[in-house]
Amino acid sequence: MTTIDTSRPEQLAHDAPEPIDAPAITPALSVAGISHCYGRRQALSDVSFNVAPASFTALLGLNGAGKSTLIALITRLFGIQTGRISVFGHDISDAPSDALRLLGVVFQPRTLDLDLSVMQNLLYHAALQGIARREARLRGEEVIARIGLADRVNSRVRDLSGGQMRRLEIARALLHRPRLLLLDEATVGLDVQARADILAHVRMLVAEQGIGVLWATHLFDEITASDDLVVLHHGHVLARGSVTQILKETGAPNFDMAFRGMTEAADRRGRSS
């Protein structure tokens, strides 16, 4: 179901989170009424949406929209001030261990240890997930082969290209076999081919392994018509639903224009209030 309100975004503050996909299934991710402040600055305001299992949901917003703050809240790097977040029904505040075990994350900044080798980075991550060494090595070899780095197993990470590092981060995020994958601006700084490869790889994970994906981005060309979408602007959700539905309801000829229309209307309201 699509929810768009270009005239009264504050109405969203009172909406219950609506599942984008089948409501009978426990959402992979449920974000309900999340607000967050840094001092007096409001970074997120009553953000609510769901991500269905085995779906690709794009979290679209310009720089400063609040995407990274939201990712930090979902991954419990920040404490939740208002609202609730749950992963497959496990509340991130009340049952963080259960929720985090189902979660794989690729953060916007690189989080690999540059002085460790490809395999050592994977083994360290596996240890943090409590995966025994022998099993970790087996899984590590498997994912390294899958991302095409089998010949670089013992290379130091600092010797890899940007695209290889990103693929390694995605492989690392999948090592503990999560059911939900969060990627925060995962293609920033990569060339066109590397971006396309990574996006195709993540979409393949959704299709073949049934992983739910939340893909935070500010790049329109990473979104396809069949994706679910959450549009975030200055900490408010302006729209959520499928791209097709959003286009239909806004009446815009393409998504670029629909996004501009929504954000400019929101900015005008912000200035006038």
Partner 1 sequence: MSTTFLTDEHRKLGFGNYVTCLNGILWREALRFLHQRERFVSALVRPLVWLFIFAAGFRQVLGISIIPPYETYILYEVYIAPGLIAMIQLFNGMQSSLSMVYDREMGNMRTLLVSPLPRWFLLICKLLAGTVVSLLQVYAFLLIAWFWDIAPPLIGYLTVLPALILSGLMLGSLGMLISSRIKQLENFAGVMNFVIFPMFFASSALYPLWRVQEGSPMLYYLCLFNPFTHAVELIRFALYDKVNWVSLAVVAGCTAVFTIGAIIAYDPGRGFARRAPAGGET
C-alpha 230/C-alpha 175 separation (Å) is 27
Retrieve residue 148's tokens.
């095409």
Q: Which residues bind partner 1 (CB under 8 A)?
A: 25-26, 28, 38, 41, 43, 53, 63-69, 72, 75-80, 88-89, 96-98, 100-103, 105, 107-113, 115-116, 120, 123-133, 176-177, 179, 184, 210
CB of 78 to partner 1, least distance (A): 4
Side-chain-side CA neighbours of residue 108 (13 Å): 14
Nearer to partner 1, 78 or 244 (CB): 78
What are phi and psi for residue 34, nearest 5 degrees?
-85, 125
Provide, rounded to whole angstroms, the least separation between the CB of residue 258 and partner 1: 23
Residue keyed to tokens 């189902």: 102
Closest separation in Å from C-beta 107 to partner 1:
5
Q: Are 173 and 104 in contact (CB under 8 A)?
A: yes
Nearer to partner 1, 132 or 207 (CB): 132
Burial label, 269 (beta-carbon count in 10 A; 0-12, 13-18, 19+): middle
Distance, in Å, from the CA atom of 239 to the CA atom of 213, rounded to the nearest integer, reads: 18
Closer to partner 1 by Cβ: residue 104 or 241: 104
Q: Please identify, using beta-carbon distances, which residue of 11 and 146 lies nearer to partner 1.
A: 146
Give the total residue count for the chain.
273
Q: Are 107 and 184 in contact (CB under 8 A)?
A: yes
Tokens of 198: 């990574």
CB-nearer residue toward partner 1: 126 or 246: 126
Q: Residue 173 or 243: which CB sits closer to partner 1?
A: 173
Minimum Å gap between C-beta 180 and partner 1 is 10
